């Protein structure tokens, strides 16, 4: 969902440039992109001491060779783990915290040919990504009744039986939904079934989003370097009751709402200007709206000297540093003209007659 930034009534420091907004959009998509490339597969992810071959001629279970939780997991089950290799994978009640909600299981042994047959080579991450795209995306859509927000907080993931399980003859996969960080790994717990949760990709008020190479990453403590801070969450359903609103209509509504929220959050309508921060927000496209997403965040940050975001330390509610320096409030004479952001044309300053 693209960031929107304008010079609001309270923000006299100018908008983030179009290039900065694009960098922000790129960064927010990193987690999803990496999830697509890497998937949430667990190679070597299960204790080989637990792996046992199927007894010849016996009924083939769905995956017990890779652990009971994996082997018995079915649509609607929720899984979690604490170890990086997921060797402690366990099944939990979906009402509690979990990392993965199963949408389908895929039995690769039913594929024709030798690719997944006995003695076949363990697939690489790219092949698992292809299998995820082939099977898990449609499974997630079906699981959610066709209402998966493609730009929402949940991404489609896949768990495989691990290389040891594969060598023992296990050929099942588990498709599911998860919340991924910037590295594409499921690290943020889910509470409750995804079927009952608002899919809007929003953060809690007061959350600061980390920064690396001028790009946003994952939530961090606000005392740590970050790209921007969440000042409010806005429910568009309170204003738009019909079909998907246009981006222009969303912008008009969000500009006033975010300006008010920023003043309330920061404690003063002048704080944003005095701290040389920019107020911005994102937008919902029609696909997200039709999937049921209705919420957006209002955020404060600052464009970098080149591309992306400047590095902020400290919560915007208190004292902050921007790229290691305390912000210098602009002159309060009503004629302050902000310096142009990179790539922008020099401002036209009216000359006295």
Q: What is the pLDDT of residue 158?
A: 93
118: its two tokens: 């006995």
Looking at the structure, do residues 105 and 217 belong to the same domain, yes or no?
no
Place of tokens 């066709």: 146
Q: Is the pLDDT of residue 31 over 50?
A: no
Query: Would residue 189 count as lying in a domain?
Result: no
159-180 pLDDT, tens digit per residue, is 999 888 898 888 999 999 999 8
Query: Would residue 344 count as lying in a domain?
Result: no
* Structural domain count of the chain: 2
pTM (2 d.p.): 0.75
Query: Would residue 327 count as lying in a domain?
Result: no
Q: What is the pLDDT of residue 73?
A: 92
The phi-psi region of residue 31 (left if phi > 0; otherwise alpha if psi is between -120 and 50; otherwise beta) is: alpha
Q: What is the pLDDT of residue 112?
A: 87
Looking at the structure, do residues 209 and 314 belong to the same domain, yes or no?
yes
Query: Would residue 298 count as lying in a domain?
Result: yes
**Domain membership of residue 80 as a residue range:** 41-179
- For 136, counting Cβ atoms within 10 Å of its Cβ (0-12 exposed, 13-18 middle, 19+ buried), the class is buried
Place of tokens 């588990």: 174
Looking at the structure, do residues 85 and 205 belong to the same domain, yes or no?
no
Query: Would residue 349 count as lying in a domain?
Result: no
Report the distance separating Cα 169 and Cα 306, nearest Å. 53
Looking at the structure, do residues 59 and 145 belong to the same domain, yes or no?
yes
280-325 pLDDT, tens digit per residue, is 999 999 999 999 999 999 999 999 877 899 999 999 999 999 999 9
Q: What is the pLDDT of residue 50?
A: 29
Query: Would residue 191 count as lying in a domain?
Result: no
Looking at the structure, do residues 16 and 50 belong to the same domain, yes or no?
no
Place of tokens 């290691």: 324
Looking at the structure, do residues 56 and 169 belong to the same domain, yes or no?
yes
Q: Of 147, 179, 211, which marks where a domain is finished? A: 179
Looking at the structure, do residues 204 and 147 belong to the same domain, yes or no?
no
């Amino acid at each position: 969902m693209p960031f929107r930034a304008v010079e609001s009534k309270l923000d006299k420091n100018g908008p983030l440039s179009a290039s900065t907004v694009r960098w922000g959009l790129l960064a927010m998509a990193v987690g999803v992109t990496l999830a697509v490339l890497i998937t949430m597969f667990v190679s070597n992810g299960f204790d080989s001491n637990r792996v046992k071959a199927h007894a010849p001629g016996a009924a083939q279970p769905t995956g017990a060779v890779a652990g009971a939780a994996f082997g018995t997991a079915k649509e609607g089950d929720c899984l979690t783990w604490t170890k990086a290799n997921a060797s402690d994978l366990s099944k939990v009640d979906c009402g509690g915290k979990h990392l993965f909600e199963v949408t389908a299981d895929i039995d690769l042994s039913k594929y024709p040919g030798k690719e997944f047959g006995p003695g076949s080579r363990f697939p690489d991450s790219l092949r698992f990504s292809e299998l995820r795209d082939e099977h898990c995306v449609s499974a997630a859509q079906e699981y959610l009744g066709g209402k998966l927000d493609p730009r929402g907080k949940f991404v489609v993931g896949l768990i495989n039986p691990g290389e040891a399980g594969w060598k023992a003859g296990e050929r099942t996969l588990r498709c599911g939904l998860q919340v991924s960080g910037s590295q594409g790994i499921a690290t943020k717990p889910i509470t409750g079934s995804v079927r009952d949760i608002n899919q809007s990709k929003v953060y809690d008020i007061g959350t600061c989003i980390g920064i690396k190479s001028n790009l946003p990453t994952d939530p961090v403590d606000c005392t740590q370097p970050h790209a921007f801070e969440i000042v409010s969450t806005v429910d568009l359903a309170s204003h738009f009751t019909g079909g998907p609103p246009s981006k222009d209509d969303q912008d008009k509504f969000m500009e006033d709402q975010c300006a008010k929220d920023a003043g309330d959050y920061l404690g003063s309508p002048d704080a944003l200007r005095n701290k040389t921060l920019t107020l911005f927000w994102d937008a919902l496209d029609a696909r997200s709206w039709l999937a049921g997403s209705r919420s957006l965040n209002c955020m404060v940050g600052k464009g970098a000297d080149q591309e992306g975001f400047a590095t902020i330390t400290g919560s915007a509610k208190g004292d902050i540093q921007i790229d290691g320096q305390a912000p210098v409030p602009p002159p309060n004479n009503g004629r302050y003209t902000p310096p142009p952001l990179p790539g922008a044309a020099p401002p036209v300053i009216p000359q006295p007659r």
